[in-house]
Amino acid sequence: MPSYTAPVEDMMFLFDKLRNNKNYNELEKYKEVSSDLVKDILQEAAKINQNLILPLAKAGDENPAVLENGVVRTPPGYKEAYKKYIEDGWTSLSCDPKYGGQGMPKTVSAFFDEMLSSASLSFKLYSELSIGAYNCINHHASDELKNKYLPKIVEGKWSGTMCLTEPVCGTDLGLLKTKAEKQNDGTYKISGQKIFITSGDHDLTENIIHLVIARATDSPVGTKGISLFLVPKFVVNQDGSVGPRNGISTGSIESKMGIKGSATCVLNFDEATGYMIGKKDKGLNAMFTMMNLERIVVGIQGLGISEIAYQNSLAYAKERKQGKTNKTKSANGADFIIEHADIRRSLLNMKSIIEGERALCFWLSQQTEVSLNHHDEKVRQEASDFVSLMTPVVKSLFTDLGMEITNDAMQIHGGYGYTKDQGIEQLYRDNRITPIYEGTNSVQAADLVFRKLSNKNGDIINKYIDLIKTETDLDNEKIKPFIKEFKYYLNILIKFSQWIKEKTKTDKDDVSAAANDYLKTLGFVSVAYAWIKVLDVSFKDYNENKNFYDDKINTAKFYFDKVLPRAEQHYKSAISGSSSIMNFKFN
């Protein structure tokens, strides 16, 4: 079984030193969230993840969730762990105190999401969608529904799901067949089948609250006729108690490559009672509140799995002997593999990406809070646009690089990485879903280039680039070599963005073919931007903690030397166009 130590020191560094965001610091609701409080939370989070949840990863992989006589049973140990998990209040961390939450900002809850992803992604998924459902209900449902359902979801006694996909449609939701028939009492009868529903059924909570998209019988076809409904597994009585079983049954659970402890279900809705959330035929707008936040969390899943893969690779490289280096330290026998240049390159590649991603995610968490809570509407909108721009980047880049990192981790472990003994191959398998669900990474890339670079509020990518230029205009002599290098790649991003805008008008196949490359270029430059913010602090506060900041500076240097150049490679590949792709004749 892999070992894991939560990176609390690095997380606290970000919270303490990278809070220099004027708009974020103006949020009144978080004025009392002190460094000491956050440190206490993260240390307790580390304990439960390292001691209680980490062992569940192997248990869930070896004893997957099963469907028996219509009942989904979770793996051994899950029930006991979940009971402790909700007793300690972890489901309520970022929720509104009005409904029993602790009211912590996403700058804190994102750290917890990462830890939980490292410890056991399968276990995490049973509560993760509950927070998404909470956010969606909180933003779009009536006060009656909020007051009836949110306290139990926040407490963790009830869980939530997101029911979109059907056998006839994956991403193309306009094709859905699930129908909703209005009743005289204002409720709806929901009928249809949903597939690939994460945590769609289980034995951890006393009720499951499904958020289901469906088409009312008098609504138009296509995406314009989709509404959103709250459909509980058990009907909730007027007094808030759990009533009779609703018209929902589990048809099967998927046999999967990874995340085997998580029950991925086929759900059948047979005239199940549902309650409309938001406006009729505007269901996708409401659902995207849940989906967009979930996409960021999926990116954090990739980050969390990358972290545990790196930690175990580093430990193994320090204890495994194999071959001799050019500067061997062994008189006879072999050197530790961490002395080999290629192994060191792999480890630094992991480390520089992980720490840069974590810093970028912290910045994005700040922007998310500003978009939701700032008193100035203009400031809120700008932050919302930045979150919208970076959501597909974080979702896709972090999960794609998670595949690279878990693959390299297996390679460092050699044959032991391929066997189940070390648990490294499970990290690869568990992460493999992250580039697929919540919209495949190619869908994210298309969304980025066709919808996110500009919108009704203007040229968002140029606003983002202007922000980067302002925040990287630094005087410190020691950081100037990094700034010079950064500006070179920022100019590539500027040229690439202009190319995308021009090609959108003339040849959309060129844009489609370049979409993944553009997302990667924007991603690698954005991670570099986060590293510049880290370097600024590292040079200024160097004497406070020389060892820590030396590590940061040298890790950043590797990123700028060895990882950031990929941005240019993607640019050069993309601007070659799509003719060799679209004109090719497959036999």
Neighbour tally for 138: CB within 10 Å: 20
SS3 of residue 568 by DSSP = helix
Q: Is the pLDDT of residue 536 over 90?
A: yes
Q: Look up residue 192 and give its amino acid.
A: G
CA separation, residue 172 to residues 177, 250, 258, 284 (Å): 12, 23, 25, 12
Q: Is the pLDDT of residue 346 over 80?
A: yes
pLDDT, greater one: 439 or 170: 439
Angle (CA) 234-238-241 rounded to 5° is 50
- Angstrom distance (rounded) from CA 418 to CA 104: 40
Mean pLDDT value across residues 255-266 = 97
Q: Which of 291, 276, 285, 297 is nearest to 161 (CA)?
A: 291
pLDDT digits (tens, 9 = 90+) for 447-501: 999 999 998 889 999 999 999 999 999 989 999 999 999 999 999 999 999 999 9
Which residues 6+ apart lie within 8 Å of 573 measured at CB? 517
- Angstrom distance (rounded) from CA 409 to CA 407: 5
Reported pTM: 0.96
- Angstrom distance (rounded) from CA 259 to CA 199: 11
**DSSP 8-class letter at 175:** G
Within 432-512, strands assigned E span 454-455, 458-459
pLDDT, greater one: 363 or 174: 363
178 phi and psi angles, rounded to 5 deg = -60, 130
Return the H-helix or E-strand segment holding 271: strand 264-277
Query: Which pLDDT band holds residue 329 (cuts at 50, 70, 90)?
Result: confident
Query: Which pLDDT band holds residue 159 (cuts at 50, 70, 90)?
Result: very high
Which ranges constitute the DSSP H helices of 541-575?
546-558, 566-574
Do residues 169 and 176 make contact, with C-beta atoms less than 8 angstroms apart?
yes
Q: Please give the pLDDT value at position 327.
A: 78
Pairing of strands 207-216, 454-455: unpaired
pLDDT digits (tens, 9 = 90+) for 369-415: 999 999 999 999 999 999 999 999 999 999 999 999 999 999 999 99
pLDDT, greater one: 289 or 433: 433
Q: Is the pLDDT of residue 76 over 90?
A: yes
User: Cα 382 to the chain's mean position, in Å?
Assistant: 22
Do residues 233 and 248 make contact, with C-beta atoms less than 8 angstroms apart?
yes
Q: How deeply is 221 buried, as exposed, middle or buried, from its count of CB atoms within 10 A (0-12, 13-18, 19+)? A: exposed
CATH superfamily for domain 288-322+334-574: Butyryl-CoA Dehydrogenase, subunit A, domain 3 (1.20.140.10)
Query: Which pLDDT band holds residue 511 (cuts at 50, 70, 90)?
Result: very high
Do residues 236 and 242 make contact, with C-beta atoms less than 8 angstroms apart?
yes
**Catalytic residue numbers?**
438
**DSSP 8-class letter at 166:** B
Question: Could you give the percent of the chain with pLDDT greater than 70?
Answer: 100
Sign for the CA dihedral angle at 328, 351, 554, 39 comes to negative
- Angstrom distance (rounded) from CA 452 to CA 460: 7
- Provide the residue ranges of all domains of the chain, joining segments of one domain with +: 288-322+334-574
Return the H-helix or E-strand segment holding 208: strand 207-216
Q: Which two tokens stand for residue 145?
A: 């529904």
Sign for the CA dihedral angle at 163, 169, 173, 176 comes to negative
Q: Is the pLDDT of residue 512 over 90?
A: yes
